[in-house]
Copies of this chain bind each other. A is one copy, B any other.
Amino acid sequence: MTAETSSPAFSPLYQQIKTLMTRSLQLGEWHPGDAIPSEIELAARFKVSQGTVRKAIDELATENLLVRRQGKGTFVATHAEEKVQFRFLRLMPDEGVAGGGERRFIDCRRQRAPADIARALLLQAGDAAIQVRRVLSFSGAPVVLDDIWLPAVLFKGLTAEKLSDYRGPMYRLFESEFGVRMIRAEEKIRAVAADAATAELLALAEGSPLLSVERLSMTYGDKPVELRRGLYNTASHYYRNELS
């Protein structure tokens, strides 16, 4: 009941509950890895039936914002989970099993965002950004050159040292240290020829074909918070994708 009839646009009850829950995630009432209140508690809090809460949670779970575990509760998704990492890790070795590889950070500095970066991240012209550059190697061979741009205001205090010291996925560091959780990303993929600088860093001939992957990552509310440009040597790795 309590119709709340002043609604500007109708939406089903469970959608409204979903919105309220998303807000709790966004505002940090519930943190990555935490258990959220039980369905019965949430039903009481929102004054709806358990089934309505269930439907809201169902959708948040299929959107990968929450993870249900029978007998234990419902948890806020985190990049600490292997399954979550896998969703954002597309580069696979032709032989052997996917692994993190060795990381080498070659740059991490704060500066004004170039125009194209600012546009993608919805920053004002002149806003500061943090640029991170790194090389990923597998079995000692360099394979990936990443050029990562982050809004400085969200990542205060990010340094090359913190990145180097951290064991685990970068997105895990972002969510635990800076409270920024990546939930979705869009990628544009092309084939390009290696320029001289890239060729040197990846130890291959200038002009070699490389996979160019431009990724724009979004947090809650579809707000872009990372622009990542990667160049992959696909001689013994490939980018896997699933169409369904």
Contacts and interface: CB of A to CB of B under 8 A. Distances in A.
A241 B186 contact: yes
A115 interface: no
Given A190-B211, A191-B234, A238-B190, A185 B243 contact: yes
A172 to B, nearest CB: 16
21 contacts: A62-B62, A87-B243, A87-B244, A184-B243, A185-B243, A186-B240, A187-B242, A188-B240, A188-B241, A189-B189, A189-B211, A189-B239, A189-B240, A190-B234, A190-B238, A190-B239, A191-B192, A191-B211, A191-B212, A191-B232, A209-B209
Interface string A61-77: 01110000000000000
B241 A187 contact: yes
A153 B41 CA distance: 57
Contacts of A240: 186-189
A224 B187 CA distance: 27
B243 A187 contact: yes
A88 interface: yes
Contacts of A184: 242-244
A207 interface: yes
A58 to B, nearest CB: 9
- Interface residues on chain A, size class: 20 to 34
Nearest to A182: B243
A113 interface: no
A210 interface: yes
Contacts of A186: 240-243
Contacts of A209: 191-193, 209-210
A209 B204 CA distance: 15
Contacts of A188: 238-241
A193 B208 CA distance: 8
A244 B193 contact: no
